[in-house]
Structure 1
Amino acid sequence: MPSPDDLRTGARATGTAAEAPAVSVREVTHRYGRGADAVTALGPLSLDVPAGAFLVLVGPSGSGKSTLLRLIAGFERPSSGEVAVHGGTPEPGRQAGVVFQQPRLFPWRTVGENISLALRYAGVPRAERPERVEELLERVGLAGTARRRTWQISGGQQQRVAIARALAGGKDLLLLNEPFAALDALTRERLQEDLRTVSSRTGITSVFVTHSVDEAVFLSTRAVVLSFGPGTVALDVAIDLPRTGDEDPDGLRGLPGYAALRAEIGAAVRDAAR
């Protein structure tokens, strides 16, 4: 069993020096508005996300977490500095699957049709889509629901569909902006467990925004706390917890180092809000 000192491994996540990061953020600053009305929301900020990492951005409201995610997704361009995904300029829909706080499914389509549409845009041949849809639904714990309407399933199930749809594009980067914030506590915990398993078994690179310290520790291989705006890195810590995909959630949360990490990150978030 790892000790608290073993779990706090410093500011850099695992990865070899020769391995190019999946995401690179270099001296990025982002402002909204112009002239005297301009507000600096983020930066200057620099960080790298190694391939296969699960980075969680946590911090108080107004710390620029969602802004940073939008920059990585390519929805916005930084006011200064550079954001690169796999060495290139991020473009919406090209390098990453994105999951929002609301599922944003097409209500006139079935569960399977929502995912099949993403497969179509990813270039998957029509004949292969039904099997792929079933594989993706099974991966997120929704086997057998392809023919149901989106309004016939719960909010938590809709968010699972949104995750499956994001995975359908075949991208190796997944961006998630507080996807579980509107769910009840029990559903949220179950989806955290499912997402952690998907991440562990696929090796996909993920960047996840949250306000929850516990969620940050449970999901991530690395947690970055952003300070109140303009957002800068207040804490950058690796989370070296077991990640086989078969862990007992209660067992993970019961590890001595888990409580220590929660306390460390929680203190950093409180300090960052001042």
Structure 2
Amino acid sequence: MPSPNSDTTGDGGIHIRNVSHRYGKGDNEVTALGPVNLDVDPGAFLVLVGASGCGKSTLLRLIAGFEAPSEGQVQVSGSAPSPGVSAGVVFQQPRLFPWRTVGGNIDLALKYAKVPRERRAQRRDELLDRVGLESTADRKIWEISGGQQQRVAIARALAAETPTFLLDEPFAALDALTRERLQEDVRQVSAESGRTTVFVTHSADEAAFLGSRIVVLTRRPGQVALDLPVNLPRTGVDPDDLRQSAEYTELRAEVGRAVKAAAA
């Protein structure tokens, strides 16, 4: 883990200091998270992994600015996070507008991102091409598969030139083959864009494949049980070769053991 003096104030750097978060009041109050301290360098791909209910999605929402911590401080690029400004976010469900076309969903995101009207068509096509959906701009949402819908959600989140990209178990509802393909796409997009990425999952396999750094959280209230840098190559390697490598197998096993221990 970087030291507290690490430079996390640049574009996409994330600084989390003494953060705890509680839900409810009085006898119904539950501490979901904390205390947590993390510094995430710009351009890193951080995977938050742990059992259900450990607070990983809560931490993601705090980074996104959807909620404020009960205690402590969260900063993204040197400032308190602002919803829709600090980061693009992808959820478990695509949450697309069904009355708009694929391209229309992207166009709306570009409008909110204040991309000039004359540049939107080109930018929309670039985004769809990046996620493997070229020539689909005129398709209706219900005409494309669940995996393709999640690709649209990823493209929409990339529409704004935010330095940070947040994904909350985006592939949980997809079949195994589609999930693997989208993992490969997100890994590539992250490497190409240079954005700081935070990805939430409960899967040790997914964490090992995606992360340049893996943080395992304990059961509620979630705290850091393991903070592990990953030395697997980020580019220039075939995904199947990577998944079959001894280094990947060892990493996946280590993360799996840590998740089970942290949930005990």
Give the C-alpha shift of residue 130 in structure 1: 0.7
Stretches of structure 2 that go unaligned for 5 or more consecutive residues are none
What one-letter code is carried by the residue in structure 1 that aligns with 2:248? Y
CA distance in 2, matches of 1:67, 1:19: 21
Give the C-alpha shift of residue 12 in structure 1: 4.2
Give the C-alpha shift of residue 59 in structure 1: 0.2
Deviations 1:160-188 (A, max 9, x none): 00000000011110110000000000000
What one-letter code is carried by the residue in structure 2 that aligns with 1:20? T
Give the C-alpha shift of residue 18 in structure 1: 4.4
What one-letter code is carried by the residue in structure 2 that aligns with 1:38? E
Normalization by structure 1: what TM-score? 0.92
Q: Where does residue 158 of structure 1 map in the other structure?
A: 149
Secondary structure of 1:25's partner? strand
Q: Where does residue 273 of structure 1 map in the other structure?
A: 263
Q: Where does residue 81 of structure 2 map in the other structure?
A: 90
Deviations 1:62-110 (A, max 9, x none): 1100000011111111110101111111111111001000000000101
Normalization by structure 2: what TM-score? 0.96
Q: Where does residue 184 of structure 2 map in the other structure?
A: 193
Q: Where does residue 161 of structure 2 map in the other structure?
A: 170
Please, what is the CA RMSD of the aligned residues?
Answer: 1.4
Deviations 1:14-71 (A, max 9, x none): xx94463611110001111112221100001100111000000000011100000011
Counterpart check, 1:263 vs 2:246: no
Q: Within 5 Å, which residues of 2 pair with 1:1-274?
A: 11-12=1-2, 17-18=6-7, 20=9, 22-244=13-235, 246-274=236-264
What one-letter code is carried by the residue in structure 2 that aligns with 1:181? A
CA distance in 2, matches of 1:218, 1:264: 13
8 Å CA contact 1:118–1:165 kept in 2: the answer is yes
Secondary structure of 2:158's partner? helix
CA distance in 2, matches of 1:137, 1:143: 5
Secondary structure of 1:26's partner? strand
What one-letter code is carried by the residue in structure 1 that aligns with 2:263? A
Q: Where does residue 6 of structure 1 map in the other structure?
A: none
What one-letter code is carried by the residue in structure 1 that aligns with 2:90? V
What one-letter code is carried by the residue in structure 2 that aligns with 1:243? R
Total equivalences in the alignment: 261
8 Å CA contact 2:36–2:224 kept in 1: the answer is yes
8 Å CA contact 2:8–2:78 kept in 1: the answer is no
Q: Between the two proteins, what is the percent identity of the paired residues? A: 64
